[in-house]
Amino acid sequence: MDDLFWLDAGAGQPLVLLHGGFLDHRMWDDQIPALAARYRVIAPDARGHGRSANASEPFRHTDDLAALLRHLDTGPAILVGVSMGGSIAVDTALEYPELVRAAVVIGVGTSEPYFTDPWTTRTWTAWQSAMAAGDLNTAVEAFTRFAPGPHRTLDDLDPEVVGRLREMTRSTLSKHTPDEPDLRIPVHDTWNRAAKIDVPVLAINGALDSPDHLGMAERLIRTVADGHAISIDGTAHYPNMERPEIFNKALEGFLRTL
């Protein structure tokens, strides 16, 4: 595990916080101190993100997470993930059900995304074009545009939150080059298999997130055996950063039911 970075704080039931794509564990800075008072909080940087090494061979994020949980000897853990992190949580519930006690997803369904809304498609395409051109500044701005969702602009968000998102995104994107191979191996057939997930699943939705992200989260909780949803007003793709006190209260309320 020398090539992966993670934080490990507190004691008690293991709670794993999985960051969004091109971010890192710091997106949970408003959750880790509060949750570590009652839980063992584990916050890794996914391979190729933050302080973890880039991939040198084909890999799956879910395999990395499973290896970390076994390395830490945690037993079944509660997985909480935003966007990409939520998809890793679902993948792990499918591939390693013995390691998962419950899952919380934010802004995602499974690791097989579908984008049909024009705003999501435009935003994603703008980021891809900037990355292909090697334009780091434009790529950072394009990806950060997911934060306010389609109904607001970045100027509507707390500047401190925007600054944190830009810094994390720049840190991770700068680790990569346009011509490097994508060594990720997808987990297949996730939507068809999702009905087999029998642990509790909670979707915490930012009410102002894109229709695609909301739709995927809502589809997931309708598909699994024990699905629930909470909506946080005034937030979009990163409700834990925009309204941390409300997010923490919603999350802890769910955790108390387990």
At 124-183, the pLDDT tens digits run: 999 999 999 999 999 999 999 999 999 999 999 999 999 999 999 999 999 999 899 999
- The answer to whether residues 50 and 164 belong to one domain is no
Query: CB of 256 within 8 A of CB of 241?
Result: no
Tell me, yes or no, if the pTM score tops 0.95.
Answer: yes
Helix/strand/coil for 224: coil
Clarify whether residues 57 and 150 are in a common domain.
no
The verdict on 156 and 210 lying in the same domain is no
With beta carbons less than 8 A apart as the criterion, state whether 238 and 161 touch. yes
User: Domain residues for 57?
Assistant: 5-115+184-255
Q: Are residues 150 and 211 in the same domain?
A: no
Confidence of residue 62 (pLDDT cuts 50, 70, 90): very high
Structurally, the chain folds into a number of domains equal to 2
Residues 18 and 66 in one domain: yes
178 assigned to some structural domain: no
Report yes or no: 159 and 241 within 8 Å, Cβ to Cβ: no
Question: What share of the chain in percent tops pLDDT 70?
Answer: 100
Amino acid at 42: I
Question: Cβ contacts of residue 181 below 8 Å, gap of 6+?
Answer: none
- Cα–Cα distance, 126 to 137 (Å, whole number): 12
162, 190: one domain: no
